[in-house]
Amino acid sequence: MKSVRRIIEKITHGVLFTSSMVTSVTVLLVVLFLFREGIGLFNQTAIEGHLAVVVNSSNPLNQLTSKQVKDIFNQDITNWKDIAGTDGEIIPKSIDDLAGQFTEEELGTDFKNLPDLIEQFVQANPGVIAYFPDTYLKKDFKGKLIPLKKVSVKEFIIGHEWYPTSQPAAVYGALPLILGTLWVSLGAILLALPIGLITAIYMAEVAGQRFRNILKPVVELLSGIPSVVYGFFGLVVLVPLIQKFFKLDVGETALAGSIILAIMSLPTIITIAEDAIRTTPRALKEASLALGASHWQTLVRVTIPFAKSGIIAAVILGIGRAVGETMAVLMVTGNASVIPHTFLEPVRTIPATIAAELGEASFGGTHFKALFALGIILFIMTFIFNTLVETVKTRKI
């Protein structure tokens, strides 16, 4: 009998060990895959599809950034003196524009003459800048091939523009997305913290046992509602109210996202804070009451200070819940990749950007890797929040 029990214990131990190892290795592999794909963005330029950017051989320009290319082809930059130092009109041409310059007879069958025609056109127009697939670039091309600067970590983090589908070069500036994520999360915590803390105090110290047994499951039920349901509620009810009340053109704003995230963060804040308050030793409360303190004085001077670390942990976990939310925020914030200045304007968050764009990004392309780089930023943010929680929980402050 003892031998059978030992065998069962060994099997159980082996199953538990294997399960923990598989889980740990899986998480590690996911993190490694995330960093491998994301860091790959910084080893290449932001050009998709093997495009070549060329200018006239007399042009002194030697290199361009992705933003400069975007501004040129959007005609935000129209004179060469702004980037190359020489005065002259910039003539941007795409592959469609170049092909439209010639007749079908000149282009030949399967565009076989297009490389020669492109070279002739570029050399005949000193102000031209053109992009086309590098398959049409002659080996002895007499114009000048302009290389683009590689995407840098600094430019990616502090860049103010996010245009992943801009042609011929995308622009990846994550600062509006980072600030949008933090801005919406900040608004959510400012709304959820006082409500959650007051509710937790009421449930732990004021409410009767019978009412608490009813209220606690109701609060916890909020965490079981799918985020897309919150998103529909925000889109159908909250967004029109904000638009009407503040007389805005659109109601999809950071405020709408903050309110929805505040509602979604409340179960986390209330549950953890309430547990922290209830675990205050009874002896401390009785000692305070024995010294003549009232119930409310004991609550403010003894119970809450003792539970401070647990309350702070609840707040940090609530922030983490808000930072990582995707669908609800995607539906109510307007998804405008601009740096936010007020809560009454559209914003875009990192999770919403990843969810909205990953399906359209070509596998292994720069857009695909840029989204993984955003995932690294989001991972670091949530890792910091979780580390703060563990730090706060292990010591009284």
Burial of residue 207, with CB atoms counted within 10 A of its CB: 0-12 exposed, 13-18 middle, 19 or more buried: middle
First-to-last C-alpha distance (Å) of the chain: 52
Compute the 3-state secondary structure of the chain and give helix, strand, coil in percent, each to the nearest 5. 65, 5, 30
pLDDT of the residue at 393: 63
Reported as type and span, the H/E element at residue 163 is strand 162-163
Structure tokens at 317: 């976990």
Structure tokens at 210: 């019978």
In angstroms, what CA-CA distances link 109 with 120, 135, 384?
Answer: 19, 15, 60
Q: CA 74, CA 267: separation in Å to the nearest integer?
A: 47
What phi, psi does 328 have (nearest 5°)?
-60, -45
Helical packing angle, 308-323 and 175-201, nearest 10°: 140
Per-residue pLDDT of the chain (397 residues; tens, 9 = 90+): 667 778 888 888 888 888 888 888 898 998 898 899 899 888 788 887 688 899 888 888 888 888 888 899 888 888 888 887 778 888 898 888 888 888 888 888 888 888 888 888 888 888 899 998 888 888 888 888 888 888 889 889 998 999 988 888 889 999 999 999 999 988 998 999 899 989 888 888 888 788 888 888 888 888 788 888 998 999 999 999 999 999 888 889 999 999 999 998 888 888 888 888 888 888 888 888 888 888 888 888 888 888 888 888 888 888 877 777 888 888 899 888 889 899 999 999 999 999 889 888 888 888 999 999 999 999 998 888 878 777 766 665 4
Provide the 3-class DSSP secondary structure of residue 91: strand
Domain with CATH 1.10.3720.10 in the chain: 175-393
CB-based contact 279:206 (threshold 8 Å)? no
- The pTM for the full model equals 0.86
Structure tokens at 166: 């801009």
Say which CATH topology domain 175-393 has: MetI-like fold (1.10.3720)
pLDDT of the residue at 348: 92
pLDDT of the residue at 181: 92
